Each structure stands twice: as C-alpha cells, then as structure tokens.
Structure 1
Amino acid sequence: MSSSVERPVTVAVAGTHSTGKTTFIARLAHELRRDKITVAHVADLGETAMSLGLPLLDNHTWASTLWFITKGISKEIEAWNRADVVLVDRPVADAIGYYRAALVYRGEEPEHDRVIMLESLAKHHSVNYDLLFKTTLDPTIPLGDNKERDSNARFRHLADLHVASVLEDLDLPHELLPVDGHDDALAQAIHFIDGHLSGVAGTS
C-alpha cells in the first residue's frame, strides 16, 4: 500500500486487549534499534483516555471513538519526523471495532451517518500503514495484570470479532498474528522494513 506523503515505514498492530500487541511491538523495536534503526512508538491511547474520563471498552461512544481516531492520527503524524520506522500500537480502525463491539454488547444501533464519517477517516488514514498485523484471540490466555483492564471476557471476544470485521469491511490488507506466531511475524516485519529502507520493492 502506498501514499504520496513522505513518511517513515509504518507498522501497526491491531486486535483486542491482552493478545500480545504491546509485547510484539516492544520486541520489534528492540531488534530494529539493535540494528541502529531509529524507531518511534505510538502507544495505545487507552490510559490517556481513562485519565480524561472518556468512556472505554463496552462504554465506547461515537465521540470517544472519534477522539481515539483523531488523537491517533495526530500522534502518528507527530512521529513521522522523528524516526526511520513508526510502530503503532492500535491503528485507527481498532477504535471502530471497539465501538461496534460496544454497541452490540449494549444492544444499541449505530447512527449510520456518523459511522460512515468514522469509517471514512479510518479508511483514508490507513493508507499510511505499510504493514498491518491483527492479533488472534486465544481465550484460554487470561487478561494481563500489568495494567488496569476490563475482565469482561464476552466483550473481549466481541472486540476481537469486530476489529477483524472492520479490517475486512474497510478492505485493509493485514497479516494474522497468532499467539504462537510472534517469531515468524517478527522475522517477516524485519525483512519487510529492511527491504523498504533499502528501497527494494515487493518486500511484503
């Protein structure tokens, strides 16, 4: 996927919570920095949203989803001038997946025009992701205990399903990242990044 905007190589990891996104990105950043590649990390915005009192997880609203998308876009653009590679923990389409999951969880219907606007923003910005992974949920693996998280297994499953459906609906090419597939995905990402930084086409 290409863009006319000059920017670094960008790798994003989507998926429901506690499926290894942050761990994978940390490993990838470590390997790249060891090779003297400058890396910028756009972190998950959940803790920032929580500090601002924005509704999260099964309480997601249209407004909080818009905040996640626009804040995420801003953070990514800020990183473009600071690194050879930008690693994104949750691409902007993730927020729509969580919003859809929250609506299903609450038994509510979306406002069609507002959803179209969110999807248009996410679709147009997502051309800036050169390589996109989507984690796969293993429900036997418990939620992490290193940060405050929702322990609602049903919502976690809904978020996994709806993040996947958003990627398909918006026609965003992506690779699956299973729990036991991090080593292979790491090698794939490094090969992809090395190829792009050296100007070699067709390295996906």
Structure 2
Amino acid sequence: MTTPQPIRIGIMGTHSTGKTTLLKRIEMELRAHGIPVARTGRLGKRAALTGLPKMQHHTATSTEWIITQGIADEIAAIRPDPEPIQVILADRAAWDALAYFHAAEEWRQETQDPLERERLRLLASTQAPKYNLLLAKVLDEALPVENKHDYDPRYRTLVDHHTHTLLTEHEIPHQRVTGDPDSQAHAVELALQLCLNQTTP
C-alpha cells in the first residue's frame, strides 16, 4: 500500500535570520487547525557532533552529510496510520547546504573540483521538486545577532548571497521572506492556505 506523500515546506537562508522561529510559527498555526505536522532540523549542530566541519570550514563531505541526512529525516517523518503526517517542515532545505558550501569556498578563497561541485548540485537538485513551498530568508544586517553566537559577519553575508544566487540561477520557485513583520506574516499565511487547501480534514 502506498503512503500518501505529505506537503513539504522547506526553508533556507543564512544563520540567525529567524528560519527556525518562522517554521515554529507555521507549525503552531497548522496544529491549531488540526493538521498533523512534523518538523526536521538541527542538521548543522548534528553534523558538528559527528566531527564534521561547519560554517566557513564546510567541505564537500560535510555538505553531502547535511543534504543526505536532511533527505533521510524527511523520509523518516512520514508515518502511516492512524494519524499520518500531512505536512513536513524542513528546517534547511537541500539547497541550503550547497549555499553554505559555496560561501565557505569563497570565504577561504578556494575552488572545489568542478566535478565535485556538480555532483553536489545534482544531489541537491533531486530534492527541489519535493517542496510544495520553499521559503528563502533574506539577511537584514541591521538586526543584531544574539551575543551567544560568534559568527563571522563576512561569511554570514556570503551565505545570504549564495542562497539567493542559487535560487535565481537555477530558477527554483521560492518565496523571499525579509525580517519585516508583514513579510513574515505573509509567509505564514501562504503556508497555512497551501496546507488547508491540500490536506484532508
């Protein structure tokens, strides 16, 4: 018996732009409407716990781990009756890892083997059709970063640049989300209406 595929909503963007917070808002709205939902995430932290490099030290190996683990998490979130998951919220869609990797290369002034870059691009591209809605956070450098985070500001900006460059160059449908409250509310409403229209009561 084939399990119905849930709606997938992915998010991407540079760090400390409110990706997880936005997905939590969407999750709360969906649950309030009685829609079973699962949220994946913490990929960067989990990769670091395995000893893989992170942030500006990302490599092809750590990038591949994040992409494939994200795929595995989304598959694992699909559960059968009695209450099948109808929506999966993916914190860090597959293209996100690629943007972080390209930014790390530029930050280090390195260039990966073209065949390796293409292999990772193809891996990420296999996931693009799965997302019913892809949200792309936009960096607002005027907003402060929490003191507990010691981020390299140049790398953070590079990730933002590569995120939106990848989406544009590969013509991937997405919704840009800024730090403006109206933009965030619009993203939540888009996700809610998508799910209400396509899920069973």
Return closer, same or farther for 1:44/1:171 CA change in 2, 3 Å cut-off: farther
Residues 14 and 134, structure 1, Cα contact 8 Å, conserved in 2? yes
Fraction of identical pairs, as percent: 35
Structure 2 Cα separation of the partners of residues 105 and 80 of structure 1 = 37
Matched residue, 2:47: 49
The gaps in structure 1 that reach 5 residues or longer are: 200-204
Which TM-score applies when normalising by structure 1? 0.90
> Where does 1:12-27 land on structure 2 (aligned, <5 Å)?
12-27=10-25
Structure 1 Cα separation of the partners of residues 150 and 112 of structure 2 = 23
Matched residue, 1:83: 85
Matched residue, 1:135: 137
Structure 2 Cα separation of the partners of residues 159 and 198 of structure 1 = 37
Residues 123 and 170, structure 1, Cα contact 8 Å, conserved in 2? no
Residues 17 and 143, structure 1, Cα contact 8 Å, conserved in 2? no
Which TM-score applies when normalising by structure 2? 0.91
Check if 1:162 corresponds to 2:162.
Answer: yes
2:187 to 185, 188, 191: 185
Deviation at 1:56, TM superposition (A): 0.4
CA RMSD in angstroms, aligned pairs only: 1.8
Deviation at 1:198, TM superposition (A): 5.0
Deviation at 1:116, TM superposition (A): 0.8
Residues 119 and 170, structure 1, Cα contact 8 Å, conserved in 2? no
Give secondary structure in 1 for the equivalent of 2:172.
Answer: coil
Matched residue, 2:108: 106
1:197 to 185, 196, 199: 199
The gaps in structure 2 that reach 5 residues or longer are: none
Matched residue, 1:123: 125
Deviation at 1:6, TM superposition (A): 4.1
1:92 to 88, 91, 94: 94
Matched residue, 2:33: 35
Structure 1 Cα separation of the partners of residues 51 and 167 of structure 2 = 28
Residues 13-55 of structure 1 deviation map (CA, whole Å, 9 limit, x = unaligned): 1100011110100011011111111110011311111211210
- One-letter code aligned to 2:155: F
1:72 to 70, 73, 85: 70
Structure 2 Cα separation of the partners of residues 7 and 126 of structure 1 = 15
